[in-house]
Amino acid sequence: MRAAAPFVLACLVGGLLAGCGGRAAQRPATTVSTVRKPPPAGLRVGVVGDLSIRVPGAVIVHGTLGALAADPLVLVVAASAAARSLPTVAAANPPSHFVLVGGSVRGVHQKNLAGLVLRHADAARLGGAVAGLTAAEQESINARVAWVGPLERGLVNPFVHGVHDTAPGATVLRAGAPNSPAACKEAALGAFARGAIVVMARGGACGAAAAAGAHQQNHPALVLSDFELPAVAAALIVRDAVAGMYHGGEDLVYGAASGAVAVRALDPRISAATAVRARDAAQQLAGGQPPSG
């Protein structure tokens, strides 16, 4: 038998790596494909302003009112700069639905615009209950607390009611003052001079000034926003939208029963024991009971 030619042997041995014609064997080309993830499933909800919510079935997108106006539901915080132009934007985008969070739309007849309003009277009553608990802890006899600033009957009366829920014998001082920082701070200092242990104000610049006066005397201070949780109410509206129900042409009012009025934050000068009782009082108020703590 004749020996195989060297060329043939080379082809047999190296055929897997090179062709017999001297050309390198080409590997099949590899195609790399990029798999794009689909966008998150759920109802797109635009949020304008400082508001943080998470709701199953909703995709929350923060941005400007102009960029989000075409979304099915847009929440606009009343304190944001965009709130002023909200009625105009809502009128220009009838398929979308808009909610003014923390503000009323009374008098604005727009079918796709609703207001989310918190029941301030509930917050004032809970604040009064906390003020009563604070005063009673420090002064069991002749405890005194004060409301500082404009004497709005719709807030002062529930505040007094709340104080007497937790401290029946406490005296409530009405330190009335114009809605200006200087006047509110002076009123707060005057209340402490009359024996008050804690003060409460509506909020805003007046509330900040009253708190500054209180802290100057090493006393605690309260404002309505300590007991209001707009994000809780906003989440309820988003849940309705996810279920296919939208609101418009009305104010939606949320109070203690909805969970939107509760203890959000307390002055660090309030003791831990009183803070626990304050949260108990909030649960009682939510359940329709007097907030005794």
Question: What element of type H or E holds 275?
Answer: helix 272-286
**Encoded amino acid at 206, one letter:** C
For the ranges 10-19, 58-67, 137-146, the maximum mean pLDDT occurs at 58-67
Same CATH fold assignment for domains 41-118+229-261 and 120-226+264-286: yes
- What are the residue ranges spanned by the domains of the chain? 41-118+229-261, 120-226+264-286
Nearest to 275 by CA among 286, 262, 261, 260: 262
**Encoded amino acid at 285, one letter:** L
Whether 44 and 69 have beta carbons less than 8 Å apart is answered as no
What is the percent of the chain with per-residue pLDDT over 90, rounded to a whole number?
83
Distance of CA 2 to the CA centre of its chain: 93
Whether 148 and 199 have beta carbons less than 8 Å apart is answered as yes
Look at the domain 120-226+264-286 and name its fold.
Rossmann fold (3.40.50)
Predicted confidence at residue 40, as pLDDT, reads 58
179-206 pLDDT, tens digit per residue, is 999 999 999 999 999 999 999 999 999 9
Whether 233 and 208 have beta carbons less than 8 Å apart is answered as no
Burial (Cβ within 10 Å: 0-12, 13-18, ≥19) of residue 226: buried
**Cα–Cα distances in angstroms (integers) from residue 26 to residues 20, 108, 123, in the given order:** 13, 74, 78
CA distance 245 to 239: 9
Q: How large is the average pLDDT for residues 281-292?
A: 96
Q: Where are the beta strands (DSSP E) in 93-158?
A: 97-101, 113-118, 144-149
Look at the domain 41-118+229-261 and name its fold.
Rossmann fold (3.40.50)
Q: How large is the average pLDDT for residues 61-76?
A: 98
Q: Where are the alpha helices (DSSP H) in 16-152?
A: 65-68, 86-92, 120-138
CA distance 68 to 48: 8
CA distance 93 to 210: 42
CA distance 2 to 165: 116
Kindly tell me if the per-residue pLDDT of 151 is higher than 70: yes
Predicted confidence at residue 224, as pLDDT, reads 97
CA distance 149 to 127: 15
At 19, give phi and psi (nearest 5°): -80, 155
Kindly tell me if the per-residue pLDDT of 48 is higher than 60: yes
Predicted confidence at residue 139, as pLDDT, reads 76
Q: What contacts 141, CB < 8 A, 6 or more positions away? A: 169
Residue owning tokens 């000068």: 269
CA distance 1 to 7: 17
Predicted confidence at residue 141, as pLDDT, reads 76
